[in-house]
Amino acid sequence: MNKFTGLLLTASLSLGLLGCDGSVDDNSTPVPPTPSPTPPTLSADVCYLMNTTKGNITLAIDLTNMPITGKNFKQYVDKSFYNGTLFHRTVNNFMIQGGGFTTGLKSKPTSAAIKNEAAIGISNKRGTIAMARGQASDTATSQFYINVLDNSQLDASADKFGYAVFGKVVDGMDVADQISIVKTTTIDGFRDTPVQEILINSVTETSCPAA
């Protein structure tokens, strides 16, 4: 498996996000947990201003319903991990993905992988932020993606683990849309890579907008 976090397009156009954080070869057949029948509404517990070379995106992160995933993102922000990383994969009418590579597509060392909380049941709707991961369920580390369309095919179900949504864009979705339509190419097997690098300059805590 390519070390790069990629996007798997099957013959049926079913889309999945693959994590790069090590070659994952899951030969077992674990049973996905049953998704919650009444998924919670996303909570805005902490907000971050993500400054990129395309503009600003403000994210509200749910630490209440998604404690593992939300706190994982927070700890990366707290140590300035995302500063200087790329939106390294952009797919029009699907998603934009970042948080794992620096300029020149150099992989950045991460903390340990986390448990997949997708079964909590929050859907991959337009404007939500979720974790990319490897082929196995509990393999997400630092990489995330922002959905630019509703992508329910990425949700957990009775037969798939899904991808854990842990927040949403509360301002700057127009910037995410612009990132999603930039010209891309393939570089050394890295597909859907922006021809002109899109940098995350900084991610800093900010006030959450009034409910």
Residue 34 is predicted with a pLDDT of 78
Residue 36 is predicted with a pLDDT of 76
Tell me the average pLDDT of the chain.
Answer: 88
Q: For the CA atoms of the chain, what is the radius of gyration?
A: 16
Band of the pLDDT at 39, cuts 50, 70, 90? Answer: confident
| Mean pLDDT score, 72-80 | 98
206 - beta bridge partners? 47
Neighbours of 30 (CB within 10 A): 10
Domain 40-206 CATH superfamily: Cyclophilin-like (2.40.100.10)
- Examine the pLDDT at 3 and tell me if it is beyond 90: no
Residue 25 is predicted with a pLDDT of 35
Residue type, 73: F
| C-alpha torsion 111→115→120→121, nearest 10 | 80
Residue 15 is predicted with a pLDDT of 39
Domain boundaries, the chain: 40-206
Give the rounded percent of residues in the chain with a pLDDT score beyond 90.
77
pLDDT in tens, 12-37: 223 346 554 333 233 345 778 777 77
Higher pLDDT, 10 or 78: 78
Give the rounded percent of residues in the chain with a pLDDT score beyond 70.
86
CA distance 140 to 133: 4
Residue 138 is predicted with a pLDDT of 97
**Cα end-to-end span (Å), the chain:** 43
pLDDT in tens, 83-129: 999 999 999 999 999 999 999 999 999 999 999 999 999 999 999 99
Nearest of 66, 48, 65 to residue 57 by alpha carbon = 48
CA distance 59 to 171: 7
Residue 29 is predicted with a pLDDT of 59
Phi, psi at residue 43, to the nearest 5°? -100, 140
Residue 105 is predicted with a pLDDT of 97
CA distance 188 to 139: 24
| Mean pLDDT score, 32-59 | 92
CA distance 15 to 195: 22
| Mean pLDDT score, 50-65 | 98
Residue the block writes with tokens 């999603």: 180
